[in-house]
Chain A
Amino acid sequence: MLRDFKVIKVNNLNETLQLINSINEPYRFICGGTDVLVKAKDNPSYAKLLVDISSLAELTGIEERKSTFVIGSGVRHLQLIKYPAFNKDYSALVQAVSNIGSPQIRALGTLGGNIGNASPAGDSIPALMVFDADIEVRSLNSNRTIRLQDFFKGPGRTVLEKNEIITKIVVPKFEGYKSGWKRLGQRSGFAISKVSSAAALSYSTHPNGSLKLTDIKIALGAVAPTVIRVAETEKFMKAEQTLTKSMLKKACDILKSEIKPISDVRSNAEYRTAMAAELFSQIVEETVPVLK
């Protein structure tokens, strides 16, 4: 057994904040364990010290507030899938987390972990990004709220300081939006995404049948060092307003010119670029079935 790490088990948030404020050695949080434990087992230099936050009550639960939903960072993917309001109005999020790993993994893995892990292919991230989610971060002496879009610095890297912990994910309420998420992997279950896309949009139907796009948000996974929003494509579509198949096709061309994915073991740049546009196009066509 190639395992060599120690564990500190913390019992509440305050204790955790004090610990990480004073600790000198490198540590990693462990909650669901679906990623951290796999790496810690494999590679003794990955983590010498794990801080087990799995029993922190402060990180659990989903709370509905006036204009937001507040999700504890320790909330498991399975809990998100079962939450009625997300099933109703946040299709992209439910579709994304329903496709993470397997039933076993979804019962263990957490939303905070999927974000903190900061994978460019993290499946929940594009879905949360199209809903303008914010990340609430605590340290012993400060609270800060960071836009999800500003949270990542690169693959596996975030703006989180050593004495900080993700406590909550805040998702604003949206009225009249439709959304979707799609990914492409080697197989449908249990594969890291080669490329993924999420989109949320709202539109109105003119008496003559034409569709007027009132808002659109598009995020892509695994096409850049972090999950990204494609601002140029969004800007083009919002300026064009009239939503048609030919407008969507033009938007896809802009989207392709806006991204510069890499080639790696899972896929190559050309394929990723083409598929990012294709996935986005499919999401729009499925969320707007009347599109002509």
Chain B
Amino acid sequence: MPDKKTAENALEPMSKIQVKFIVNNKDINVTVPVTYTLLDILRYELKFTGTKEGCGMGECGACTVIMNGELVTACLVLASSLEGKNVITIEGISEMPSAKPIIDSFVKHASVQCGFCTPGMVVASYALLSKYESPTNQQILDGLAGNICRCTGYTKIVEAINEAAVELSKNKKAEVK
């Protein structure tokens, strides 16, 4: 039965894989080693180096991106599970008008020390403010619970998010008028 044979061949262990998915609204089609994660594809194949590799174990959040509407750590998304997914990175967010108040507020409040965690922090803040218009302090802390800053600048980050929330809701009210 030739059909069966094809099916068996399709289930051979692979060392490379072709994946088609979307990054920042662009169709991506890459062939990469199966050991690659979304993070590796972003950085090595697509040169989106804004997404950082911190721990590589899903604990620090430096590689946070939005995948199908939810925050995920790109270092834990295996290439083979990416087919058809819609990914937004810090590069995509930095071009969104609705994210500008967040980025400006991070700058204004100096919510950055070494800067390594910042892209992940901004992505998580963007996701948080997409969910809550004016988040409570607890909601901010919960929303950022997966992002670690080794320079210990959380206070500034929380302040930045609070002010960005105010700015964003002003903009929204202006739009309505």
Contacts and interface: CB of A to CB of B under 8 A. Distances in A.
Interface stretch (B10-18, B104-112, B160-168, B169-177): B10-18
A103 B124 contact: yes
A4 B142 CA distance: 35
Contacts of B127: 103
A5 B14 CA distance: 9
Interface stretch (B20-28, B53-61, B92-100, B149-157): B53-61
A3 B35 contact: yes
Contact of B143 (A6, A33, A42, A103): A103
B35 A38 contact: no
B112 to A, nearest CB: 21
B64 A9 contact: no
B46 interface: no
A50 B146 contact: no
Given A8-B13, A104-B71, A105-B146, 17 more contacts: A1-B35, A3-B35, A5-B34, A8-B12, A19-B11, A34-B58, A38-B76, A41-B56, A49-B13, A54-B80, A78-B70, A102-B59, A102-B145, A102-B146, A102-B147, A103-B146, A107-B72
21 contacts: A6-B13, A6-B14, A6-B15, A6-B34, A7-B13, A30-B78, A30-B81, A34-B76, A38-B57, A49-B13, A52-B80, A101-B58, A103-B70, A103-B71, A103-B124, A103-B146, A104-B72, A105-B146, A107-B70, A107-B72, A108-B77
Interface of B: 7, 11-15, 17, 34-35, 37, 56-59, 61, 64, 67, 70-73, 76-81, 83, 124, 127, 142-143, 145-147
Top 5 closest pairs, chain A to chain B, by CB:
A102-B146, A6-B13, A107-B70, A3-B35, A54-B81
